[in-house]
């Protein structure tokens, strides 16, 4: 059943809980074991309209706010599932929505809203530039009605399961512009229409099931009509979208942390060793309680960042701080949950070792803890920059 546009946050949470009940731990373990994309789960989210909540109603979405999207992702993760298979569809579209022309929006957004077009891939990171995005070397050179793309992206997740990719490329040399952030442009690349020899997607084997890839461009022609916004201004457009990405991923971390704290406290209550529940020992009980306290504190920061985003306030710092606190809380919860389950934590059937691996990602991606601390140290506290 397609979601009702007037659903309250609580109704959305309950509906996602019901949807996730059809995708229990066993389902996720199987996907993880086979490194398989959770196609059925993603399709269920598309069919019910929950993946297009942020798309305005005029383009076929439900026109809800980021808070609704956070609730969806948090609930998926709290159930033991993983929204990483499709979360990009929620935030990547924002760049097109905010900076695309009316023609582009009319062309692409209705298909993204009804699921016939998947915009799951976001190509920013490159092997040689890492976090230093302004040093990317993938170029887009105008040639008649097209741009010709050459270069390589790494860690482009879901590229094999996406029709479209939002791509950041250099349209002007870094040395030729007055600011390194200028001369970068954003394109909507139609992966399905790309000529065979000009686009190669190679999966990367990783410690988690994340469908991530390397993408190679060899004279890939992209229509100039697919340039989003103004040429050379792409860095700003991408940064805009990153706030939503960070807040949504922080919500996923809160879901992971709550899943792990629940697992740990349930196990600690049931498991008896030395004739009593292990959770009666404060050496076991207190770390779990501490993980809970940190999770709930982080959740407040996520709520604050989300409410700032939804009311149109500047929220770069809040989004970063929310992502940092939530990813540290989920990592702490994962470590404590492992310790609580003892040897059984290593048994796949408990889903703890899987979550332990999955949630570790978020201290590194989409932006690492160090880079967030650097942002706070320099932008908020005014200390000198290290780079």
Binding residues for ligand FAD (CB under 6 A) = 122-125, 130-131, 155-157, 206, 210, 212, 361, 364-368, 370-371, 374, 386-387
Q: Give the nearer residue to ligand FAD in terms of CB position, either 197 or 386.
A: 386
Residue nearest to ligand FAD (CB): 130
The distance of closest approach from Cβ of residue 127 to ligand FAD in the complex, given in angstroms and rounded to an integer, is 8
Q: Give the nearer residue to ligand FAD in terms of CB position, either 7 or 358.
A: 358
The distance of closest approach from Cβ of residue 366 to ligand FAD in the complex, given in angstroms and rounded to an integer, is 5
The distance of closest approach from Cβ of residue 209 to ligand FAD in the complex, given in angstroms and rounded to an integer, is 10
Q: Give the nearer residue to ligand FAD in terms of CB position, either 122 or 237.
A: 122
Q: Give the nearer residue to ligand FAD in terms of CB position, either 139 or 368.
A: 368
Taking the CA atoms of 40, 43, 45 and 47 in sequence, report the sign of the dihedral they define.
Answer: negative
The distance of closest approach from Cβ of residue 370 to ligand FAD in the complex, given in angstroms and rounded to an integer, is 3
Q: Give the nearer residue to ligand FAD in terms of CB position, either 67 or 158.
A: 158
d(CA 265, CA 368): 29
Q: Give the nearer residue to ligand FAD in terms of CB position, either 8 or 131.
A: 131
d(CA 76, CA 86): 11
Q: Are 69 and 55 in contact (CB under 8 A)?
A: no
d(CA 281, CA 12): 38
156 contact partners, CB below 8 Å, separation of at least 6: 121, 122, 123, 125, 165, 201, 212, 213, 214, 215
> Which tokens belong to 66?
């980021």
Q: Give the nearer residue to ligand FAD in terms of CB position, either 51 or 288.
A: 51
Q: Are 208 and 358 in contact (CB under 8 A)?
A: yes
Degrees (nearest 5) of the Cα angle 323, 211, 332? Answer: 35
- Tokens 């019910």 correspond to 48
The distance of closest approach from Cβ of residue 122 to ligand FAD in the complex, given in angstroms and rounded to an integer, is 5
- Tokens 């990783």 correspond to 206
The distance of closest approach from Cβ of residue 123 to ligand FAD in the complex, given in angstroms and rounded to an integer, is 6
The distance of closest approach from Cβ of residue 88 to ligand FAD in the complex, given in angstroms and rounded to an integer, is 7
Q: Are 224 and 147 in contact (CB under 8 A)?
A: yes
Q: Give the nearer residue to ligand FAD in terms of CB position, either 334 or 361.
A: 361
> Which tokens belong to 187?
């394109």
Q: Give the nearer residue to ligand FAD in terms of CB position, either 59 or 122.
A: 122
**Residue 189, SS3 per DSSP:** strand
d(CA 158, CA 92): 12
The distance of closest approach from Cβ of residue 292 to ligand FAD in the complex, given in angstroms and rounded to an integer, is 27
Residue 55's φ and ψ, nearest 5 degrees, are -80, 130
The distance of closest approach from Cβ of residue 327 to ligand FAD in the complex, given in angstroms and rounded to an integer, is 12
Q: What is the DSSP letter of 185?
A: E
Q: Kind of pairing, strands 164-170 and 119-123?
A: parallel
Q: Are 267 and 301 in contact (CB under 8 A)?
A: no
d(CA 129, CA 131): 6
């Amino acid at each position: 059943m397609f979601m009702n546009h007037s659903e309250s946050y609580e109704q959305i949470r309950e509906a996602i809980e019901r949807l996730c009940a059809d995708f229990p731990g066993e389902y996720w373990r199987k996907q993880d074991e086979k490194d398989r994309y959770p196609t059925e789960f993603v399709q269920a989210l598309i069919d019910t309209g929950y993946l297009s909540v942020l798309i305005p109603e005029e383009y076929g979405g439900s026109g809800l706010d980021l808070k609704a999207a956070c609730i969806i992702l948090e609930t998926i993760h709290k159930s033991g599932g993983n929204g990483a298979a499709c979360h990009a569809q929620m935030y990547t579209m924002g760049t097109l929505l905010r900076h695309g022309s009316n023609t582009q929006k009319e062309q692409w957004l209705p298909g993204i809203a009804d699921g016939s077009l998947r915009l799951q891939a976001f190509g920013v990171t490159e092997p040689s530039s890492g976090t230093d995005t302004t040093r990317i070397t993938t170029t887009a050179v105008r040639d008649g009605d097209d741009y010709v793309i050459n270069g390589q992206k790494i860690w482009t997740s879901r590229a094999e399961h996406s029709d479209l990719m939002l791509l950041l490329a250099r349209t002007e040399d870094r040395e030729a512009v007055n600011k390194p952030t200028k001369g970068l442009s954003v394109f909507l690349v139609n992966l399905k229409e790309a000529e065979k020899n000009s686009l190669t997607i190679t999966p990367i084997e990783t410690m988690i099931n994340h469908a991530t890839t390397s993408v190679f461009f060899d004279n890939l022609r992209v229509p100039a009509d697919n340039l989003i916004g103004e040429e050379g201004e792409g860095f700003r457009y991408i940064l805009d979208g990153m706030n939503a990405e960070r807040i949504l991923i922080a919500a996923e971390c809160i879901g992971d942390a709550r899943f792990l704290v629940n697992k740990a406290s349930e196990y600690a209550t049931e498991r008896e060793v030395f004739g009593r529940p292990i959770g009666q020992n404060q050496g076991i009980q207190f770390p779990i309680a501490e993980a809970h306290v940190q999770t709930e504190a982080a959740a407040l920061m996520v709520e604050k960042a989300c409410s700032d985003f939804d009311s149109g306030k500047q929220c770069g710092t809040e989004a970063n701080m929310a992502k940092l606190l939530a990813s540290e809380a989920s990592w702490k919860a994962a470590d404590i949950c492992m310790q609580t389950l003892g040897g059984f934590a290593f048994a796949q059937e408990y889903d703890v070792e899987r979550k332990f691996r999955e949630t570790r990602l978020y201290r590194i991606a989409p932006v690492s803890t160090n880079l967030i601390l650097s942002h706070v140290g320099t932008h908020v506290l005014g200390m000198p920059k290290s780079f």
